[in-house]
Amino acid sequence: MLSHLSLTARLSLMFSMAMLAIWGVVSLVLIQALDHHFAQQDKSDIQSKIVLAKQLISEQLQSSQPTWPAIENNLNQMLVGHSGYYLLVSDQQGQTLACAAPTGYQEPNLYIGTKIRQLTKGCHQGGRRYRSMTASMAVDLALFDTALANIPTENKQDMHTISISVALDTRYHQHFINEIKLGLTWLTGAIALISILLGWLASRTGLKPLRSLASLSARVTADRLDHRLSLANSPPELHPSIQAFNDMLDRLEDSFQRLTAFSSDIAHELRTPINSLMMQTQVALAQPRHSEEYQETLYANLETAERLARMISELLFLAKSEQGQLTMQTKPLALDDELDELIEFFEPLASEHQVRLHRQGQASLLGDKSMLQRAFSNLLTNAIRYTPAQREVRIKISQHRQGVTVAIENPGPVIPPEKWAHLFDRFYQADHARQPTTEGTGLGLAITHAIITAHHGTISVHSDAQATCFSVWLPHT
């Protein structure tokens, strides 16, 4: 049922239910407290009337000619001005000796068989509610000779103890409590309406950051990603959600900026070889030429086409890596053997640049051989190209408990720290001295980063005046 209501309506309803539950408990406690107060007050009043009745009976029985009618008359006078009280004096067999009651009211039945009622929370009779109490009184038998003249002789030996019962009509108290209950009922309705209104206002105010979030989401477009929600005026409970939303916008803005830059770079990179193809073809077709000249033009066009094909292939590789669609064939590899094989392959290029290659350390792991060779080939090509003549490229393998680290270090131009994070972006060039690692494309480090990431590893770079070092960490599995 609540699933079809808005969040504001749900919060308002729950707030109202909570307020009504609290008010219900308070009302119940109030009614119980009033009832207990009146019960204690009635008990005290009834006990005082019993004490007065005992004193009056004692005084009357000590007179010269005590009679129960006279005692009854005195008891009625005692209750003058105390409406609602009923007093009964009886023997142990339940026979009435004296009775005092307000004029025009039927006295309550204070007996159930021969058992006298004690003080109760509220016995009902004839539509009225009573509280009653019975007390015993010992009387000197010698005083009964005159006073009990009308009592049968066979019962006189039992008249040394009499019972004094007092009952109180609690209509006044009950009327007061009923008025309180009626007032509480109306007040409950008013509180229900007020709590719904307050709950709605509180919900609207508290959910304002969410509405701002929705409004901001509607304004976000591909060319307007600079909007952010402020944490200053929002409740602490929404801080994680707002921060996550702002972080998402940061990531989207960064991704769109990189995508825009990538689109611009790839357009620039593709435009150069295509223009070269068109120019060479137009020159070749401008006038008749010998077959040797056409052949040279075709060879030049083939070289440019191969460069384009290589670039497209590498872009497709990066696209698959970003989508997690790279297919890897992992198997145990001796990393030192694989790097020795690459060093042997790059030895002619290093000799051409008068650069020495040195490896130390060994390790093994699970990985895709061809991909890892491609990644380290890009790093070695990069290191050889920018190492000054007569210097050395050092390759250090370190095996740890959780993985393997391969550090490829070479002296050369310093890369500023602010550019380290961008070295693995596609088509990014740190400066004119350090060109992209894959000839003609500028995608070498981006491909290396994608391969290392596919192996659940990391790659980082550090560059200073002494050397530039690319560090690759790969897990064992």
pLDDT in tens, 146-156: 445 455 545 44
At residue 2, the pLDDT reads 54
> What's the confidence (pLDDT) of residue 313?
79
Nearest to 276 by CA among 295, 296, 293, 301: 301
CATH number reported for the structural domain that contains residue 313 in this entry: 1.10.287
Mean pLDDT of the chain, nearest integer? 79
Q: Are residues 335 and 313 in the same domain?
A: no
What distance in Å separates the CA atoms of residue 51 and residue 67, rounded to the nearest whole number? 20
Residue 230 lies in a domain: no
User: Quick one: 305 and 386 in the same domain?
Assistant: no
- Regarding whether 293 and 385 lie in a shared domain, the answer is no
CB of 434 closer than 8 Å to CB of 415: yes
Residue 304 forms part of a structural domain: yes
Q: Evaluate whether 444 touches 437 at the Cβ level (below 8 Å).
A: yes
Answer whether residue 123 shows pLDDT above 70.
Answer: no
**Rounded average pLDDT over 366-392:** 90
Higher pLDDT, 200 or 458: 458
Angstrom CA distances, 28 to 22, 23, 180, 450, stand at 10, 8, 11, 70
pTM over 0.85: no
Res. 354 pLDDT band, cuts 50 70 90? very high
Q: Which of the two residues, 230 and 429, has the higher pLDDT score?
A: 230
Domain end position, chosen among 301, 322, 343: 322
Q: Is 60 helix (H, G, I), strand (E, B) or coil?
A: helix
Compute the average pLDDT of residues 120-139: 69
* Structure-model confidence comparison of residues 261 and 84, the more confident one: 84
pLDDT over 60 (residue 4): yes
- Asked whether residue 455 falls in the same domain as residue 347, the answer is yes
What residue spans of 286-324 are helical by DSSP H?
291-322
**Is 353 strand, coil or helix?**
coil
Give the other-Cβ count within 10 Å of 165's Cβ.
23
Which pLDDT does position 406 carry in this prediction? 93
Query: What are the phi and psi torsion angles at 331 (to 5°)?
Result: -160, 160
| Domain contains 203 | no
pLDDT surpasses 70 at 318 = yes
What type of residue sits at position 404?
A: V
pLDDT of 120: 44
- Domain annotation covers residue 300: yes
CATH code for position 340: 3.30.565.10
> What residue type is 427 in one-letter code?
F
Residues 41 and 63 placed together within one structural domain of the fold: yes
166 shares a domain with 18: yes
- With cut-offs at 50, 70 and 90, classify the pLDDT of residue 117: very low
Residue indicated by tokens 């010698």: 142
Q: What is the pLDDT of residue 111?
A: 40
| Domain range enclosing 271 | 236-322
Given a cut of 90, whether residue 469 has pLDDT beyond it is yes
Q: What pLDDT is attached to residue 112?
A: 34
pLDDT at 121: 44
CA distance 195 to 253: 44
**What is the pLDDT confidence band of residue 270, given thresholds at 50, 70 and 90?**
confident
Out of 132-136, 414-418, 430-434, which region has the weakest mean confidence (pLDDT)? 430-434
Position with higher pLDDT, 379 vs 326? 379
Distance CA 404, CA 397 (A): 7
Residue 200 parent element (H or E): helix 171-206
What was the pLDDT predicted at 430? Answer: 57
Question: Which tokens is 237 given?
Answer: 């409970």
- pLDDT average, residue stretch 275-283: 84
pLDDT band, very low/low/confident/very high, at 358 (cuts 50, 70, 90): very high
In degrees, rounded to 5, the angle at the alpha carbon of residue 253 between the alpha carbons of residues 252 and 259 is 85
Decide if 192 is inside a domain.
Answer: no
Residue written as tokens 């560059």?
Answer: 463
Count the Cβ atoms, other than its own, within 10 Å of residue 264: 11
58-65 contacts, C-beta under 8 A, 24 or more apart: 61/139, 61/140, 61/143, 61/147, 62/143, 65/146
- Same domain assignment for residues 462 and 347: yes
Number of folded domains in the chain?
3
Residue 392 pLDDT: 93
Give the residue, 138 or 238, on which the prediction is more confident: 138
Closest to 102 in 3D by CA, of 119, 86, 123: 86
Percentage with pLDDT > 90 across the chain: 15
Q: Is residue 144 part of a domain?
A: yes
Tell me, yes or no, whether 306 and 281 share the same domain: yes
Say whether pLDDT at 69 is over 90: no
Q: Which of 3-7, 25-29, 437-441 is most confident?
A: 25-29
301 and 340 in a common domain? no
Q: Which range, of 13-27, 75-89, 206-220, 346-360, averages the lowest pLDDT?
A: 206-220
Task: With cut-offs at 50, 70 and 90, classify the pLDDT of residue 474.
Answer: very high
Residues 13 and 162 in one domain: yes
Examine the pLDDT at 163 and tell me if it is beyond 70: yes
Torsion sign over Cα 463, 466, 468, 471: negative
23 lies in a domain? yes
- The reply to whether 346 falls in a domain is yes
Q: Among residues 132, 161, 177, which one ends one of the domains?
A: 177
Residues 37 and 162 in one domain: yes
* Residue 409 pLDDT greater than 90, yes or no: yes
Averaged pLDDT, 445-451? 87
Nearest-angstrom CA–CA distance, 467 and 407: 12
Confidence of residue 160 (pLDDT cuts 50, 70, 90): low
Domain boundary (158, 177, 196) is at 177
One domain, residues 292 and 425: no
Q: Given pLDDT bands bounded at 50, 70 and 90, which one contains residue 109?
A: low
